[in-house]
Amino acid sequence: MNAEDSAAVMHTATATVSLMVRLRRPRLILAFCLVLLLSAACTGVWNVNASPSPVRAIHVAVLRTGKVLLVAGSGNEFYRFEAGDFQTSLWDPATNNFSPVTTPWDAFCSGHAFLGDGRLLVAGGTLDFPRTAGQSFAGSRKAYLFDPVSATYQRVPDMAEGRWYPSLVTLGNGSVLTVGGLDESRNRISTAQRFTGTGWTTPTAPPTGLPNGWPLYPSLHLLADGRLFYSGVNTFGTVGSAPGIWNLATNTLAGVPGLTDVERRDQGMSVLLPPAQNQQVMVMGGGDTGDSNDAVASTAIVDLDASATPAFVPGPALSEPKMYVSAVVLPDSTVVETGGSRKSREAVPPGTGSTFSTQIYDPATGKLTTAPPSTLNRGYHSSAVLLPDGRVATFGGNPNDNSFELRIEIYTPGYMFRSRPVIASVPTELTRGTPISLTASGTNPVTSAVLVRPMAVTHSFDPEQRLVDVPFTATPTGGQITVPTNANLLPPGWYMLFARDAQRTPSVAKWVHVS
C-alpha cells in the first residue's frame, strides 16, 4: 500500500471518526475502524492520482522499466492532426513524473505488441480524418518501435497497407501478426501481415471460413498450439463477429459455437483467464455502437484446451450491463472488471450512461464478487493496466470528441493490505526448462510463482494479456522455478515475475526476460 492509497483510506476514516468523536461514540469509532480495515483488506480501495495525464491516453503500455507509455497521437482532435501536433507521454508511477516524447506520426487508433527485446511495435494509426458526412477515417501504413531505454520512437519499414483499428499479437516465434483495420482508402481490410523484427512479410489473404472479413480491432488470443482464437469481440459493429479458431498454417477459421448475445459484443471485453495453461477465454459485456439499447451483462466462457469441439457456455452475469468494460488479470490469478457504459456513447448524452461497478472474477471458483466502485467515467477510449507493484491504473474516457478524462484512477486490490512476500533476488535472464533459484522473504513462505506479460491496451482490450503458472519447488531460502518451454504459451519477451504465498498473496514483481 503506497502513500496515496494510505491517504485515501485515512481521509475517509478521519472524516468519519471526527464525526463520531463529536458525537462521543467511542465504541462506534472502534467498530468502524475495524470494519474499514477489514473491508480494504478484502476488497481494496480506489484513489484518484494526484497528477492527471498531460495527454489523452488513447493507448497505454507498461514498459519493462516500470514506466507507462501514454500515446495520444492526435488524440482524436482534428486541430492537432491538421497541425501535425502528435503527443506521447511517459509516466513513472514511482515518482509520478511525466516526460514528453517526440511523436513523429499520428498513432491515434494504431495497434501495438511487444517484441522479444521489450520494444513496443506500434503500427498503423490515422492517415486522415473524415472529411465529409458519413466518411470513415483512413489508415496509416507507418510503423515504429518504441525503445523503453532511450525513450524514443524508431522508424521501421511501412506496412503494405494502411491500418486504422488493427489488432497486433506476438506469436511464439517472436514475430508480430497484424490483422484488420481500415486502409488508406477508408475501406475495411482483412489481409494479415507479420513483422519479423526488421521488416514485414508479404500480406496473406483472410482465412477460409471468414466470409465477412475481419472486424475492427478483432479480439485475438494466441493458443498453446500456435493457433489464434477470435473470441467474437470487436470494435465498431458486428460484421464478422462469429468466434472461431484460426489455424495459421492452413489459413482456415473453424467456428466456435455457443456465444450468447453474439450480435451485441461490440466494445465488449475478452480475456484469457489465468492461468493461461487452462486455455479458457471469457467474454464480458458488450453492446452495439450507435444503438440506444442497453449493453448486455452476460458473460460466456470457452475451454480451448485440447478439445476437438470447443463451445461457449454461459458464465456468471455482471452486476449490470456494460460496454467499454476493462478487465485486468491480477497476479493472484483473479480478474478485475471495471468501468464501462450501459449504452453506446453515440446514443446517449455524454457521460450519462457511465457505470462504475467493479467485480472480481475467480476462475478457480467461477464466481464474481463485488469490489468498491470506481469514481471516474471510463467509457470509449478507456484503458486499465496492471502495474508491477500489483495495483491497477485506469485511464481515459471520451464521452464526446470535445472532451476526454485525463485523470488517472488507481485500484489497490485487497492483497496489498496483507503481509506480502518479497523477492530478494532472481536472475534477470530466464532459460526455458532450466531450474532457476529464487530467493524470497516474508511472514509466510512462498508457495508459487507466476509470469505476467505487461499490458499494451487500447479501446479497453489487449490481445496479449496473460498470466502463466511457473512450476515451483520450495527451498529453505525461497524456491526453484522452471520456465515453461512452450513459446506459444509463453511468447518471448519481458515479464513481471510475482512470488506468492499459500493465500496467493503476490509480491511486488521483478522484471525478467524470457528469450
Backbone angles phi, psi at 17, to 5 degrees: -65, -40
* Residue 137 lies inside a defined structural domain of this protein: no
Q: How many domains, in total, are found in the chain?
A: 2
* Residue 199 lies inside a defined structural domain of this protein: no
Residues 458-471: tens digit of each pLDDT: 999 999 999 999 99
What cell numbers appear for 120 in the block?
513496443
* Residue 402 lies inside a defined structural domain of this protein: no
* Residue 471 lies inside a defined structural domain of this protein: yes
Rounded alpha-carbon distances, angstroms, from residue 279 to 231, 247, 283, 303, 441: 13, 16, 13, 6, 32
Residues 292-303: tens digit of each pLDDT: 999 999 999 999
* Residue 97 lies inside a defined structural domain of this protein: no
CATH number, domain with residue 491: 2.60.40.10
Q: What is the mean pLDDT of residues 122-150?
A: 97
* Residue 179, burial from CB neighbour count under 10 angstroms (0-12, 13-18, 19+): buried
Q: What is the mean pLDDT of residues 235-243?
A: 79
* Residue 448 lies inside a defined structural domain of this protein: yes
Which secondary-structure segment (H or E) carries 382?
strand 382-386
Quick one: what percent of the chain has pLDDT higher than 90?
Answer: 86
Residues 244-265: tens digit of each pLDDT: 999 999 999 999 999 999 999 9
More confident residue, 81 or 18: 81
* pLDDT at 28 (0 to 100): 55
What cell numbers appear for 508 in the block?
511486488
**Rounded-to-integer distance, Cα 358 and Cα 367, Å:** 14
Q: What is the mean pLDDT of residues 138-148?
A: 98
Rounded alpha-carbon distances, angstroms, from residue 427 to 48, 63, 331, 434, 511: 35, 19, 20, 12, 9
* Residue 433 lies inside a defined structural domain of this protein: yes
Q: Which is nearest to 189 in space by CA: 141, 143, 153?
A: 141
Quick one: what percent of the chain has pLDDT higher than 70?
Answer: 91
What cell numbers appear for 309 in the block?
469441439
Contact 292, 247 (CB under 8 A): no
* Residue 193 lies inside a defined structural domain of this protein: no
Concatenated DSSP letters of 322-365: -BS-EEEE-TTS-EEEE--BSS-TTTSSTTTTB---EEEEETTT
* pLDDT at 376 (0 to 100): 97
Q: Which is nearest to 406 in space by CA: 11, 50, 105?
A: 50
Residue 275 contacts by C-beta under 8 Å, 6 or more apart in sequence? 333, 450, 467, 468, 469
Residues 343-399: tens digit of each pLDDT: 999 888 887 899 999 999 999 999 999 999 999 999 999 999 999 999 999 999 999
Mean per-residue pLDDT of the chain:
92
Tell me the pLDDT band of 39, cut-offs 50, 70 and 90.
low
Residue 19 contacts by C-beta under 8 Å, 6 or more apart in sequence? none
* pLDDT at 14 (0 to 100): 40
Tell me the pLDDT band of 240, cut-offs 50, 70 and 90.
low
Whole-prediction pTM: 0.93
Find the domain containing 463 and state its range. 420-514
